[in-house]
Amino acid sequence: MPITNDAITLGILMACLAFVFCTSNIKTGAFAKFYKVVPALLMCYFLPAIFNSLGIISGEDSKLYFVASRYLLPASLILLCLSIDLKAILNLGPKALIMFFAATLGIVIGGPVALYLVGLMNPDVLGGEGADAIWKGLATVAGSWIGGGANQTAMKEIYGASDTLFSAMIVVDVFVANTWMAIILYGVGKKKIIDEKLKADSSAIDELQEKVENYQASVSTNPTITNIMVLLGVAFTCVGLSHYLSDGVAPGLNKWITSTLESNPDSFLIYLTSLGSGFFWLVVFATLAGVGLSFTKARKMEGYGASKFGSLFLYVLVATIGMKMDIAELIANWKVFKFLILTGLIWMVVHVAILLGVAKWIKAPFFFVAVGSQANVGGAASAPIVAGAFSPALAPVGVLLAVFGYAVGTFGAILCATLMQTVAH
């Protein structure tokens, strides 16, 4: 029987994080050689996944991911955006947005291409009737990979995929997306080599990183307990305010959209159902709060360790994401999932190929490849993690692109679903 007490599960996750941080700071011996190959952040993700896969803890029964994503994630977004320099981010130029849309294009095109190729190997993959039509299930994956959970749910409602099919697609989503995230995190450690192959100029990113780090150093101080309490007070007050505003906006919008669609099913609002998601508005309001505070004296709270606490919360989130991956379940249901998993893998390969092709063409650094991809595939939970893996100073870039991903997610997913429906028929 797996451990279902979240207090014990949290203890195991924190022990995993402490183990990784301690061993990754050993400069000699086997651990030093190991972490030269495997990034520490990747281990923060995989150790909880191993515990879950072995049945020691239960990612399915645990509420820790919900707590981390609803409380710690918005707090992290606020703290990471606290010292954001919007002007410097804008100075990064258009490559960030180009790579973001290249990533979106890769998902839109990759879905129908993967479905067609796997359909040639096994025509049953194209089958299914009504709510069990495979393309409808894959449409929910498209929603997740272009925007996030809110967009995924929106696609389920739009196309009416069955609960059974939806559950299978969640496995495809989690396995393929997390495998790609693991590869990205590995690539972070090889970013200089990748940038050389892409002939990329990363000077603007280096300048932003240096500028933010210099600012952090200039305001850095030895914080007192009062300083830390004020910092966390501001962060979680803003989290509470974000929840309050989200709870006020989302239900009203959702009710209006639902009632409008009941009377007029062809309304353009069918493309905007994700606006009724509370999580969407939670991320938006938390990000706006952090960016807003960056224009005030609160920006100096970076000296109290704002970005360090923000990064800490993200690492806890990484661990809770990791424990949702069940390698054992995938192996046990391999006959059922193998063609769906293959579809997802081919889909992701097309996405990556387009990303790297565009990056090579415009000479974009690997940072834009990684963050542009995760702003689509991973959303607000993963994009700042990946951006922060390059440097905590760069995490706000991931936050802003992820929020943008929510905005275009449903539209891109509907286009992808339409193309997959054409392939299936």
Averaged pLDDT, 415-424? 82
Residues 6+ away with beta carbon under 8 Å from 170? none
Place of tokens 């709060």: 289
Query: Among 92, 73, 37, which Cα is nearest to 309's?
Result: 73
156-203: per-residue pLDDT in tens? 766 777 766 766 777 787 778 878 888 888 888 788 888 888 887 777
pLDDT at 261 over 80: no
Domain boundaries, the chain: 69-424
Tens digit of each residue's pLDDT (9 = 90 or more) over 218-243? 777 788 999 999 999 999 999 999 99
pLDDT of 237 reads 97
Question: Residue 106: its pLDDT value, please?
Answer: 92
Whether 270 has a pLDDT exceeding 60, the answer reads no
3-state secondary structure 61-127: CCCHHHHHHHHHHHHHHHHHHCCCCHHHHHCCCCHHHHHHHHHHHHHHHHHHHHHHHHHHHCHHHHC
List the end-to-end C-alpha distance of the chain, in Å, as a whole number.
45
β-bridge partners, 57:
3
- The stretch 96-102 carries a mean pLDDT of 85
What rounded mean pLDDT belongs to the chain? Answer: 80
pLDDT at 228: 93
Out of 208-222, 307-321, 328-342, the most confident range is: 307-321
In this prediction, residues 47-53 reach a mean pLDDT of: 88
Specify the pLDDT at position 308.
82
What is the reported pLDDT for 380? 64
Q: 371 in the Ramachandran plot: left (φ > 0), alpha (ψ -120 to 50) or beta?
A: alpha
Give me the pLDDT at residue 19, please.
95
- CA 302 – CA 41 distance, rounded (Å): 23
Average pLDDT over residues 195-212: 76
Predicted confidence band of residue 354 (pLDDT cuts 50, 70, 90): very high
100-125 pLDDT, tens per residue? 889 889 999 998 998 888 888 877 66
How far apart, in whole angstroms, are the C-alpha atoms of residue 385 and residue 381?
Answer: 7
Name the residue among 128, 105, 130, 131 with its Cα closest to residue 413: 105
Predicted pLDDT of residue 125: 63
230-246 burial: b if 16+ Cβ within 10 Å, else e: ebeebbeebbeebbebb
Residue 32: what pLDDT?
85
Q: Please enumerate in sequence order all residues whose Cβ is within 8 A of that of 346, keeping only pairs 6 or more positions apart, or say none.
A: 110, 113, 114, 117, 118
Q: What average pLDDT score do residues 65-86 get?
A: 82
Report, as an integer, the average pLDDT of 24-50: 81
Structure tokens at 293: 């505070």
DSSP 268: G
pLDDT level of residue 386 (50, 70, 90 thresholds): confident
In terms of Cα–Cα distance, which of 52, 299, 312, 330 is closest to 176? 330
